[in-house]
Amino acid sequence: MYYLQKPPVFAGLIDAHSREQYNSLMMSQETLARPLVLASASPRRRKLLGLLGLAFDARAARIEEKPHPGESPVTAMQRFAREKAAAVSIEIAVNGRSIVIGADTMVVLDGEMLGKPRDAAEAIRTLRRLRGREHQVYTALSILATPAAKPLECLARTLVPMRRYTDQEIDCYVRSGDPLDKAGAYAIQNTSFRPVTKLTGCYANVMGFPLCHLTRQLRKLDIEPPADIPTACQRRLDYTCPVYGRVLTSPPCGTCLAGQRPAY
């Protein structure tokens, strides 16, 4: 189980603001009737989910992430998120109170899904394809209140412009090993490579877990994260987000799944 850490202590005294925030978060955890379970082994998603200020557990979802013949990248990704949530929900069915969150992130260029590279050579080819171009990063969320319930689903999309990095920079980055477990063969948060320039959408989505989209869905289950999500996310990612207000107040996610929502 993942919990919040205690607020900072200096010279034996707790900062008044930190104490007030900590007490509020602890009260919310104690009164939360439906524990959360993240259907993912991703350390990045665990860290981002922790910003909500809610206690949660995490379990890897054992599914085959392989698109069906003729299945579009976005449809496949939505199915993967749904199947991840369902698989973990069935595993923990003995605890019917848990709410399971499934997520799947995909990098798409020219309508083609770019998954995790099989080796260094494929990572180099992928980064060369992405160089100096704009692509899309999608994250599908699927939330199950019970194994038999209809999932709450949402889709986030962010346009990502890549800078014109050099072949030497690619080689150095690939040798670090960082791109080998990343969809699209890059991590936007890598401070040495810095692959992205002038992002105007959801940074957390490009990392694989759009927190404001998730918050909007949790509210439908009467779960209000105790943390100020936009502030916590921007502070953690060191990014001034221009879209969180639109995400948190936008229409229901069904329009997003129908492809009618602008990129966030």
Q: Dihedral through CA 203, CA 207, CA 211, CA 214, nearest 10? A: 130
Q: What is the DSSP letter of 162?
A: B
Nearest residue to 141 (alpha-carbon basis) of 205, 199, 229: 205
Whether 104 sits among the annotated catalytic residues: the reply is yes
122, 115 in Cβ contact below 8 A? no
Nearest residue to 257 (alpha-carbon basis) of 40, 79, 38: 79
User: Residue 131: which H helix or E strand, with range?
Assistant: none
Distance between CA atoms of residues 33 and 209, nearest Å: 23
Q: What is the DSSP letter of 196?
A: B
Nearest residue to 74 (alpha-carbon basis) of 15, 153, 9: 153
Q: What is the DSSP letter of 184?
A: G
Q: Quote the tokens at residue 94.
A: 């003995």
Q: What is the DSSP letter of 65?
A: -
Q: Which residue has the tokens 């200096």?
A: 10
Distance between CA atoms of residues 79 and 224, nearest Å: 26
Distance between CA atoms of residues 105 and 197, nearest Å: 20
Distance between CA atoms of residues 264 and 226, nearest Å: 23
Q: Select which of 15, 104, 181, 238 is catalytic.
A: 104
Active site residues: 104
